[in-house]
Amino acid sequence: AQSVTQLGSHVSVSEGALVLLRCNYSSSVPPYLFWYVQYPNQGLQLLLKYTSAATLVKGINGFEAEFKKSETSFHLTKPSAHMSDAAEYFCAVSESTDKLIFGTGTRLQVFP
Amino acid sequence: KAGVTQTPRYLIKTRGQQVTLSCSPISGHRSVSWYQQTPGQGLQFLFEYFSETQRNKGNFPGRFSGRQFSNSRSEMNVSTLELGDSALYLCASSIGTAGVGTQYFGPGTRLTVL
């Protein structure tokens, strides 16, 4: 069965610093991988998704993620954090037509 | 194109009551999935409906049920509410089945059980 592990429930960075949110997955078949962001009192918004095309996936708001099969990882990065990036980020995995399995989330804080 | 809408946005109920939540997917989307989000358990999959048929179900008791109508709108029902049912209930729609098609989420219904 597939699963997702997000290392670090809280990550704090300074404005302008690199953002790195970690996600490792477990899947018996080539997975679909997703990153979603949730702002307070809102639903989830898709940042980006990997579907076996390019291993480096670019998303919205300057975020990108790299699929590394050998490390079973799909870490989310952004070169320069902005105050508006403060939110909770969820990594998710699915196998073929199966349901989405979410990680426990990482809350990103951005300090001025 | 309008996004996923959920009604009501906030709901307060007491233990033992039942509740029905509604979700209208993006036009043209045939799949609707429901998730429960709590601080302790995170995001947990409830069920998915595709073309009026439940195609997947999470690990929740039978008090949680749902259905989908011919226009793809979906309702979720929780009977005999318990305090632990207090959560944000999120609905997501996609063109194809969940897991393949990108899921678009609604703003959620915040349910408080007193």
Chain B residues close to A36, C-beta within 8 Å: 105
Amino acid identity, position A26: S
Neighbours of A20 (CB within 10 A): 12
- Model confidence at A45, pLDDT cuts 50, 70, 90, reads very high
Report how far residue B105's alpha carbon sits from residue A25's, in angstroms, rounded to the nearest whole number: 22
Instruction: Verify whether the Cβ–Cβ distance B43 to A95 is below 8 Å.
Output: no
pLDDT, residue A53, reads 73
Instruction: Verify whether the Cβ–Cβ distance B100 to A36 is below 8 Å.
Output: no
Residues A57, A1 contacting (CB under 8 angstroms): no
Higher pLDDT, B26 or A51: B26
Instruction: Verify whether the Cβ–Cβ distance B43 to A105 is below 8 Å.
Output: yes
B13: pLDDT strictly greater than 80: yes
Q: What is the 3-state secondary structure (H, E, C) of chain A?
A: CCEEECCCCEEEEECCCCEEECCEEECCCCCEEEEEEECCCCCEEEEEEECCCCCEEECHHHCEEEEEHHHCEEEEEECCCCHHHCEEEEEEEECCCCCCEECCCEEEEEEC
Locate the chain B residue with the closest alpha carbon to A97: B99
Does B66 contact chain A (CB < 8 Å)? Answer: no
**Is the torsion defined by CA of A84, A90, A94, A100 positive or negative?**
negative
Locate the chain A residue with the closest alpha carbon to B32: A99
B99: pLDDT strictly greater than 70: no
pLDDT, residue A96, reads 62
Report how far residue A46's alpha carbon sits from residue B93's, in angstroms, rounded to the nearest whole number: 12
Instruction: Verify whether the Cβ–Cβ distance B107 to A42 is below 8 Å.
Output: yes
Does A105 contact chain B (CB < 8 Å)? Answer: yes
Neighbours of A6 (CB within 10 A): 21
| Tens digit of each residue's pLDDT (9 = 90 or more) over B43-94 | 999 999 999 999 889 999 999 999 999 999 999 999 999 999 999 999 999 8
